[in-house]
Amino acid sequence: IGELEKVFQVENDYYETLTQAVNAASSGSTITMLQDYETENIVIAKTRLSLDLGGHTLSITGDTAGNGISFSGSIFSITNGNIIDGRDSSRNGGYTAIMIGAAQTLEVTKVTVKIYDSLNTSSLNNVAFRMEPGSTLTLGEDSRIVSDSTDNANSGSIGVVVLGTGSMTSTTNLYLTDDAEISVGQFGISGNGSVGNSESDSDSDTGISVDKNKDYRGTYIEISNNSKVSATNGWGIYHPQDGVLVIEDEASIKGITGIEMRAGTLELLGGTVESTKTVNTFESNANGNGPTTKGVGIAIVQHSSKLEVDVDIVAGDVKGYYAVYEENLQENDDESVAKVDISISG
């Protein structure tokens, strides 16, 4: 019997696989990775654990679609290294690198997560983080989400999918702080517009697999300090759900359209929101299943769900063919349009 290969360390013990290390770890333990490691889909159900990548790379391999690493414990943190989801070599889409289960908490610091862009002809995106209702994700110091693109696959990726709880009483919470960065293809951050009834579609054009009968309202997203969110060929932030989006400090949001608000509240307290569309043109078309507008800094287009839209621009720089654009593309009735409120000051 050969000597145990020391890949993971938990206190004074060593393990060959991540599953063994997780099973052996007690609450409050730190699992330290001692060398690069490959794993197929794995569920981590322990609570209050820390994974220190030790400057190494954790690669998600195999050909099983869906979630690569699923967190269903309670509180978890990942630090210091790289995570690569290399499963979609054919770039067909539908792969999620990390899933944060309902009501779970994950904190990420000094970690780069890399995913593939799916083919531009694909109906599905690949996702770095998927947040289930009630979960909390903090992308902290020097954390990055990036996508690997090619000529025919340079838009099929989402940095973070935020699925709300169905209520603003208890929300799904995303925080970007301390120079965190998202740089992907189609959506830096995206919610979902389903309100759980037959009158509203479920934003299938975003390429997010969801239950359209569920209500995904109830999110809180805060982007602060020098954090950056960008989408090379899409929307920095697509916000079709009832929730709160706060941009402040020196944060930067960029995309063909920087932010598209179809429902919910935007508080722009600082930073930059910018359209990076290289051709000086503007496009805007009705869409009950996804985003509508290209070429502007902030687009305000009430969704077919007819929810309130409240945009408060207090400070910061907004740039585009139009800096701010509002239109009733869905031809919602007057009562619904009266729920749209825009304030620009300072």
pLDDT tens for each residue of 28-87:
999 999 999 999 999 998 889 999 999 999 999 998 888 999 998 888 999 999 999 999
Mean pLDDT of 176-191: 97
Give the pair of three-digit tokens for residue 99: 């899933």
Confidence (pLDDT) at 95: 96
107-134 pLDDT tens trace = 999 999 999 999 999 999 999 999 999 9
Confidence (pLDDT) at 102: 95
Confidence (pLDDT) at 309: 98
Phi, psi dihedrals of residue 252, rounded to the nearest 5°: -135, 130
* % of the chain with per-residue pLDDT over 70: 96
Confidence (pLDDT) at 206: 78
Amino acid 59 reads S
pLDDT score of 253 more than 90? yes
pTM: 0.96
* CA dist., res. 27 & res. 174, Å (int): 24
Amino acid 175 reads Y
Mean pLDDT of 274-298: 91
Amino acid 52 reads D
DSSP character string of 90-117: T----EEEEEE-TT-EEEEEEEEEEEEP
